[in-house]
Structure formats: C-alpha cells, structure tokens
Amino acid sequence: MASSLEKFIHSLDLRTLPRVLQIQSGIYCQGSVYEMFGNECSLSTGEVIKVIGFKINKLIASICENNEVSQFSAKLELPLNFPGLYKVVADKTPYISIEEIARKVSIAPRRFGHPCFYSAEDIKLANFTVKHGEQITFNSVEEVNGTMAVNCAVVRNSQPHSFTLPLSQEGEFYECEDDQIYTLKEIAEWKIPKCRNRIVKLSSTLHMGDLSSPLPENFDGCLILMPVYEVQAVMKFQKDIVHILSDLDVEVKDITDCCDTDSFLQPLSLEDIFERTSKEFPMVAEIMEGPSGSQKPYNLLSTGKEIVIYKKYQATRVLASEMRSDSSKRHFLIPMSYKGKFKRRPRVFPTAYDLEIARSEKEQLHVVATKAFVSPHKELFSVSVGDQFLVQQCQTSEVLYEGRKKLVDVLACEQILSDSYKKVLLPMYMEGGFVEVIHDKKQYYLSEICKEFHLPFNVKVSVRDLSIEEDVLAASPGLQFEEEITDPYLLISSACSPVESWEIPVYRLNMLVHLLSKDVQTVVPPVTRTTVEEVSKEECCMLRRYENLTLHPPPRPPKKPT
C-alpha cells in the first residue's frame, strides 16, 4: 500500500531498518535522482531505494507560552548547529505501552540513549514491584526468552535494581524531568520522539560569530521544536548515499519482503564500526561520505578512499584551553603521545578553599594575595594585597561566634615576612584572590604533569613536538590543562600506502563507510601519528559534561557566617 514519504517516516520502526522502497508517484525527472543544495529532490516512478536510516535535518521552532505556540510567534528555521545549550521540558502526554516508547524514543547503549519514565500505577513483576512515580531508566531493547523486551533499572537506596519489561506491557508512562543540558544537535538526535514535537528551554547562549540570531534579543524562554527529517538511502549497485527531505511530495511503497537486498551497499557510521566485536578487526572499508576539515587526517578521508581499520579502544586526552579572556580562546584535545615539553605558568586561586584543593605533598604551594580580606574573627588572619603565604594544611579552629565558641574549617599557612615566617589561619570560606609563585624551572612531558600535579594546571609550550608538521600548541601564549578525558577512538591507515596510522574520534567525526571483503595485508598497524584535535567551545562543554557524569562533584566550600 502506497503512502506519502512523510507518513512512512512517522510510521517506521527504527529497529526494522533497512527498508526497501519503490517510488509510486511524485515529482518526476528524466533521469533518476538529481541533487539541489546538497539534497536529493526528485525521484522517478518505479525507482527502488534502500532506506538505511533517517535523521532530523533541521528544526522549525516557535516561541512557546504555557506549553502552546504563541499567537504572535513566527516560525523560525534553526539549523542543528545553531549555538546554545537547552534543557528538555518533560512531555506531559503519556505513552500507553512499552512498545510505543520503544518505537518512538531513542533507546541505545550510548551516552543519551537511556531515557527515563515513570508509571502512573504500580507494575507487579514476578519478583519485583515497580512503584508508581518511581523513575525507570530504559537501557536497551533486546529479545529475552523469545519475547522482545526493554532492559530497565530503578535506583533504591543508591543501589540499582535491573529488570525487563516486555513491549506488550501497557499502562500510563510519563517522561521524567531531565536536568541535563543539550545542544540542538543532541536534542535532534536523541530527545525528539517520533510523531511528537519537543519543548525546550534556553539554558545558555553561545557565541554566534558574525551571524545574527533569529531569536528575539535577550530571549530566555521556551521553544516548540518541530523536526524536518532527512532520509538516508542507497541506490541499487551505487556507492553514493542519497539524501531526501521528508517534506518531498512523493508516494512510496515498502517492498522489503519481496526484494533482493544484496544488490545494495550497507553504509556504516563510525559508531556502527565501534560496536563491532574486537575479533572482527582489522577490516578494510571504503569511505562513502568523508568528513569536512583541512587538518590531518581528515583531509585524507575523502569519498572513495579505502582505509584499514585496525582496532577500537578508549584513549585518554587532556582537554586544554588557551589562557585568553577574549572570545578567540581555542580549545584542544592533546594525546598522551604528544612529544613536546611544557613549562609551568602561575595558577590563579579565587578562594582559600581552592588553595586547599591545589596543594600537594610533592611541593609547598607559594602564593601572593591579590585581594584584601578582613577577618570577622580575631582568631583568624586578615589579608592585605601583596601578602605572601606558604600553604600548609586544612584543619579546624575554635572561634568566638555570637558569644559562643564554634569550630570552623581553616587553612593553616605560613606568612612570609622579610626575615622570618609567621603561622596564620585563613578561613576556608575566605573570598580573596591569590596568584601562584613558580620556583620550578623544569620542563615536563604531558604524562609527567598528569602524574605529578592536580588539574587544572597552567603551562606554556617550551619545546614543540617536532613530529607534528604544524604544532598549534606552540603558538599559544599559555594553556590551562582542564582535565583528562576518556573517549572512543578507531585506529586507521590508508589501504594503498599504509606508512602511518591515525586515531580518529568516534563521536566527533561524521563519516560513513562500507566494508570490503578484502584481506588486510598486515595486521600490525604502522607508526601512529600524534594529532592535536581542536574542538569548539560547545564541544568542550559537552566533553567536560560527559566526563563528569560518572564523577561525584567536589564538596562545596564552607559558607561565610552571616
């Protein structure tokens, strides 16, 4: 039975992909598919295509008031790279079954593939009862004892309890509130259910460069996002990937059950490759859609090139930012294999609490006060600009507070005088300002800094990495090492001239390949080239957020007594 392309997309279950479609009627042309503005926009009757996936191409946004489109709001077209961070507003419309959730919501063993819902009523299982209103995390969809089910978990008394819910389970299921922040691209990929719109609230804006924002000035309200989809498909015996917008006026018919799919290539994303078992590596692949970018290795990954993918693994990078105050600050991911050397630069500490975090057993922290502080207690020290201190340790001290003695957290220090030292106590809540005095002239490798010091840590390149054609770090006036990041990578090389190999990030590189049935000439990868990856401010925020999802936040500094 024929249906419009848009209706087909809305009814499609992602788990049944790929699907083979035949064009029944629509916009015609003499050839087959032609391209305009980067999207295929015309198909001939009888054309057969294999749909391998679909994604949101752009978003139509309207300003939202009381969960409805404002009558004064014009529709705005927002690209997925539109800057800004957003919070998702929980959908108040219930889902009537687990099957509906699995069909409309993205559930996958990936960063954002774990949506949370709660049931309006208790769910009684064989040896477990899910209470109404209890947050249920959906982790994956798989077959359990011949029945399709969702692997779920609830947390009670800080302990996770796992169980499965069959797709046939009915009830009223509501989306839980989500306190995370997302980019528009992440929302489009993971947080817009099929056949539903999504309300989001602007959390923070990001720099737009020379572009003017289509949103009202100082806008901080809610938007209703309506997706426009893009179908990704391949033609018979063709390597090119076809992109078709969902609002194209064509009718299609699903002929998957009566069509030979072997004549179609199967494009794979880097995420698809990474999910393969380690035993399947190494493999040879041909690039169907290469990434954009002029730096190596991205400029080598052009469409049609054959590559060897040797292995997959988690690799550590140090996230670094230039020490600038202007908007031109750049951000980098530096591999541990970086062969340059660094010299220390002074760190800045806004509070006494930050001094306690930064101190180490390896060396005594020496600082100069840049801001005066008058202590409300005679037992504690008042600081003047220019005072110098050697930081000792955190301890408690008794102070007189409202006529009663009270224990407070303090930082024991030695004040450096002209010819002696004076023991002083600084209140831990002290809001002052300190700059580090550097006595260490040694040059360090990156791995040494990560091993011997606490991050964040300020440095400047003193010896550049000569193995890199253009070491972008050497030109920086100063760098702050923010934190260590662990991310998935693939190790690749050129198939025709494997003289060097490269690490490519799985989640930050948009690239499609198809596997070739060729033997790998050598299973041992050639020498791996060091690559310093530059990331945008937005990607920097996302990387830090991903890394900190599994970490407990540090304790808050003590509050100043009122």
pLDDT at 72 over 60: no
Q: Are 45 and 23 in contact (CB under 8 A)?
A: yes
- The residue that leads in pLDDT, 177 or 109, is 177
- Please provide the average confidence, as pLDDT, over all residues in the chain: 84
Domain membership flag for residue 320: no
* pLDDT, tens digit (0-9, with 9 covering 90-100), for 174-194: 999 998 888 888 898 889 988
The top-scoring range by mean pLDDT among 224-238, 317-331, 547-561 is: 317-331
- pLDDT confidence of residue 78: 86
In angstroms, the CA 114 to CA 480 distance is: 33
Q: Are residues 359 and 432 in the same domain?
A: yes
Domain membership flag for residue 420: yes
- The residue that leads in pLDDT, 547 or 350, is 350
**Is the entire prediction scored with pTM above 0.95?**
no
Nearest to 425 by CA among 414, 436, 437: 414
Residue appearing with tokens 């989306």: 175
The CATH number that applies at residue 376 is 2.30.30.40
Nearest to 505 by CA among 532, 524, 541, 477: 532
Q: Are residues 29 and 115 in the same domain?
A: no
Lowest mean pLDDT among 51-60, 291-300, 360-369, 371-380: 291-300
Q: Are residues 389 and 363 in the same domain?
A: yes
In angstroms, the CA 133 to CA 170 distance is: 16
* pLDDT, tens digit (0-9, with 9 covering 90-100), for 523-538: 788 888 888 999 888 7
pLDDT at 411 over 70: yes
Q: Are residues 245 and 171 in the same domain?
A: no
Q: Are 327 and 546 in contact (CB under 8 A)?
A: no
Q: Residue 414 is part of which domain span?
A: 348-436
pLDDT at 297 over 70: yes
Q: Are 72 and 249 in contact (CB under 8 A)?
A: no
Q: Are residues 88 and 196 in the same domain?
A: yes
Q: Are residues 166 and 292 in the same domain?
A: no
Residue appearing with tokens 């139509």: 60
Domain membership flag for residue 555: no
Q: Are residues 97 and 186 in the same domain?
A: yes
Q: Are residues 278 and 380 in the same domain?
A: no
Q: In the structure, what pLDDT confidence band is assigned to residue 261 with cuts at 50, 70 and 90?
A: low
Nearest to 408 by CA among 426, 423, 424, 432: 426
Question: Is the four-CA dihedral 112, 118, 123, 126 of positive or negative sign?
Answer: positive
Residue ranges of E strands in 402-456? 404-416, 421-427, 431-436
Domain membership flag for residue 475: no
Q: Are 244 and 230 in contact (CB under 8 A)?
A: yes
Domain membership flag for residue 124: yes
Total number of domains constituting the chain: 4
Rounded to 5°, angle at Cα 313 from 312 and 315: 135
Q: Are residues 187 and 138 in the same domain?
A: yes
Domain membership flag for residue 177: yes
The CATH number that applies at residue 18 is 2.30.30
**Coil, strand or helix: which one is 425?**
strand
- pLDDT confidence of residue 507: 86
Q: Are residues 360 and 418 in the same domain?
A: yes
Domain membership flag for residue 444: no
* pLDDT, tens digit (0-9, with 9 covering 90-100), for 122-143: 999 888 899 999 999 999 888 8
Q: Are residues 285 and 391 in the same domain?
A: no
Domain membership flag for residue 338: no
- Helix residue spans in 225-323 (DSSP H): 270-274
253, amino acid identity: K
- pLDDT confidence of residue 166: 93
Lowest mean pLDDT among 142-146, 323-327, 513-517, 545-549: 545-549
In angstroms, the CA 40 to CA 454 distance is: 52
Q: Are residues 96 and 44 in the same domain?
A: no
The top-scoring range by mean pLDDT among 25-34, 150-159, 244-253 is: 150-159
